[in-house]
Amino acid sequence: MKTKNKISLLVLIGLFLINIFGAVAQKSIELKYNLEKGDSYIFGTELDQDITFDAMGTTTTLNQLMTFKMTSTITEVGDNEITEGFVFDKITMNQKIFGMELIYDSEDSSTFSGMGAQVAEQFNKIIGNSIKVVIDDRGNFKDMDLSDFSDNNDLSNNLSSGNTHAVYPEGKVKIGDSWETDIKPLADSEMKVHLKYTLLKTTRKQAVLSIEGNITANEIQGQEIKLEGTTVGEMIVDRKTGMLINSVIDMEMALEIDQGGVKIPATIMSSTETNVSKVE
């Protein structure tokens, strides 16, 4: 009899614990940016990309591995506006095509000549230059100053592509809840990105989000282009500050470029990982 009572008690305790943890799992949380003026963060991004296209009837693949190191500093925190300055500290690129290899490292001047000369000319202009980004407390972009990148702003536009900042919903969310947003990552273009976030998991300090989206474009910098793509991945964010900790995002795009009446089809497959750490 005592054994049955013990079993019954253990079952009741088990049910009680399940209910407790179930309640914790369903607890709603609010995600927003709580950043302080003067805070600085280091962003490290690795982009692994394959671009396959038809060139004069031959299918060719360009393999490209790039890394970016940026420092961001919160310069102003005002009435639902957070101003963040980004500086590109380092860029590397390893590119392979037609059996040739191009290597560029912004910290290694020996890579500035030969095949890397043209790349170095463009990328060296970016190192040390700053971008001013203004977001609200949910991560929606309100303004971006690219004046230092008048000659080459392709890399800087990565800041608004959804890799470096999550966009949060108004109000609280619980595990399983989703929200959607539209962003425009490229200036002077008709490119659009529609993203859907889902809260997958929470701990006391972090939240894990899944991200999936669609990418479309019919014109970029005055050039007609037909582009369709998808993106999927996960983000880990800091619940206290809202700042990204880690993101891994895969992207697949099919595009068609009109070059003098000749349509050139291409596919782009890329994987991007970004890690962020606070400067103490």
The whole model's pTM is what?
0.82
What are the angstrom distances between the C-alpha of 140 and each of 107, 136, 173, 269, 270? Answer: 33, 6, 17, 27, 25
Q: Of 265 and 15, which is predicted with more confidence?
A: 265
Q: Residue ranges of the domains in the chain?
A: 29-278
Which overall architecture, per CATH, does domain 29-278 show? Roll (2.30)
**Tokens (6 digits) for 146:** 């690219």
Residue located via tokens 């998991």: 201
pLDDT of residue 72: 93
Residue-wise pLDDT tens digits, 123-145:
888 888 888 888 899 998 888 77
Residue-wise pLDDT tens digits, 188-229:
556 778 899 999 999 999 999 999 988 887 766 666 777 888
Share of the chain above pLDDT 90, in %: 39
- 3-state DSSP call for residue 21? helix
- 264 closest CA partner among 60, 61, 53: 53
Q: Of 179 and 182, which is predicted with more confidence?
A: 179
